[in-house]
Chains A and B, each alone.
Chain A
Amino acid sequence: MQRAVREVAVAATKSRLSKPEKQAHAARDSRLTRYLALLAGLMVACGQSIAAVLPEDRADILYHRYEGGGVTIDGPSVLVRKQFGGKVSLWANYYVDMVSSASIDVVTSASSDGYTEERTETSTGFDYLYDRTTMSFSYTSSEESDYSAATFGFALSQDFFGDMTTLSMNYSQGNDEVRENIYQNGSVISSDFRGDASRQRFGVGLTQVLSKNWIMSFNLESVVDEGFLRNPYRTVRFANGDDIGRAPERYPSTRNSDAAALRSMYYLPYRAALRTELRAFADSWGVSSRNIEFRYLQPYKEGMTFELKLRYYNQSQANFYSDLFPFEDAQTFLARDKELSDFNSLNLGFGASYQFPQHWLPIFEKTSAHLFYDRIRFEYGNFRDISGTNTATFGLGNEPLYRFDANVIRLFISAWF
């Protein structure tokens, strides 16, 4: 009834208008229509990227390469994701590491001049969307000649507060089997079981839209390891009179760690974005670390986007780590893994992405190509370079500190369908 009254009143008002007034009214109607259309478009666009939605149907084929410190690792990674019924998104990932290693650990252990091996990782999972809740399950299996790992994970995320806030939780459980290969004339003659290890991860996260140009996220994650946690090949060194003695590493059978990360994404006054990340980490072995990262993303002309990255990481050493122990069995636990040493790394990165014109390949909605290059310098504060004749030249415990540069390449194409 009220609607009918309103329509009659509007019609009567329009009929009383003069010609210029009618033209102005029509122009206003046109602007209003355009405004409403724009509004609807924006709401749809925002709904697609801010509210709870399933990831897009997409396939990625990536070539990766890491080269540094005498180690070269490269291989492919293929990730495919597809929605079913608008409620479920299935994904699968096939990943290979082809390793050729003559790292400082290997060349100074006197057990080998280098080795090659392959690690294959297959993962699969699905996301299920119900209203503003997304539930995710995943399973990952990793195989190499002396290490097997299987991990399953569960995650839950919920959007609320006008889709400005997302709360997420994740849990995963991993079970690993560690073996030691026995070599003869460069070939593996047996792979002896050394122990099992299990790993549980518990995480929570909060993502918050702070303004129309600023979004932040905060993540906490704890990891609990139990079992055989050391590398069966690595040894520690100790002073043995004028000689150097060697003994296998000895690690605790548990390790707990906590990590907290704060990330920010800010849209600059022109079309560009600045991503900032701060992360702090501490574990029960006495290691604490910090890293800070900045990424600047700049679109350029039609389809191009460039990225610059700067990342700095530093950590303190584990409380049972030493580059050189004073004598054999100097303490209960012994480690000389450079990843547990005091060290820092500086990472400079550059990326370029190109999105091809839409339907360039008719079978795909859109396609893009990406190249990312990272150069990382590692500088160790308590891990000495004992390769070659360094010990004889500089004296035991006075060898130069180890440092190396690594080059990391990610080259991939993506297709949406």
Chain B
Amino acid sequence: MQHIKTLLCRSAVLSLLVCAAGCTSVQPWVKPYERQNLADPIMSFEPHQVSTRYINHVYEAREAARGAEGSAGGGCGCN
């Protein structure tokens, strides 16, 4: 339970920071028409979900570490 509270506190701090950033007068500094490089397929963190799920499973089954794998994580449901 303490663990969950710690995580909730961290989430709250993160959300407050984000809200604080939103309340200031800072404007988005990368305009939509300046994002052609970011839109390039090579800039995707994980472009192939089927492949990412597998390699994360390879690591998770052989390492004690788990979690924070990114969007394609979430546990393999296996021993």
Contacts and interface: CB of A to CB of B under 8 A. Distances in A.
B75 A174 contact: yes
Given A211-B30, A215-B43, A217-B70, A412 B53 contact: no
B42 A212 contact: no
Nearest to A68: B62
Contact of A160 (B14, B22, B67, B78): B22
A223 B11 contact: no
Nearest to A213: B37
A206 interface: yes
Contacts of B75: 140, 151, 172, 174, 199, 201, 223
A279 B34 CA distance: 30
Contacts of B76: 121, 142
Interface stretch (A24-32, A182-190, A268-276, A395-403): A268-276
Interface string A172-198: 101010100000000000000000000
Nearest to A279: B68
Contacts of A165: 18, 21
A311 to B, nearest CB: 9
Contact of A162 (B6, B27, B36, B74): B27
Contacts of B79: 147, 176, 178, 231
Interface in A91-113: 93, 95, 97
A212 B35 contact: yes
A54 interface: no
A141 interface: yes
B37 A275 contact: no
A46, A119, A169, A211 interface centre (most CB from chain B within 10 Å): A46
Interface string A375-407: 000100000000000000000000000000000
Interface residues of A, number: 103
Contacts of A46: 32-33, 35-36, 38-39
A289 B65 contact: yes
Contact of B43 (A149, A162, A273, A285): A273
Interface of B: 3-4, 6-7, 10-11, 14-15, 18, 21-22, 27-30, 32-40, 42-45, 48-51, 53-55, 58-59, 62-71, 73-79
Interface of A: 39, 42-43, 45-50, 55, 60, 62, 64, 66, 77-79, 93, 95, 97, 119, 121, 138, 140-142, 144, 147, 149-151, 153, 160-165, 167-170, 172, 174, 176, 178, 199, 201-206, 209, 211-213, 215, 217, 219-224, 231, 256-261, 263, 265, 267, 271-273, 275, 279, 281, 283, 285, 287, 289, 291, 297, 299, 305, 313, 315, 318, 339-340, 345, 370, 372, 374, 378, 408, 410, 412, 414
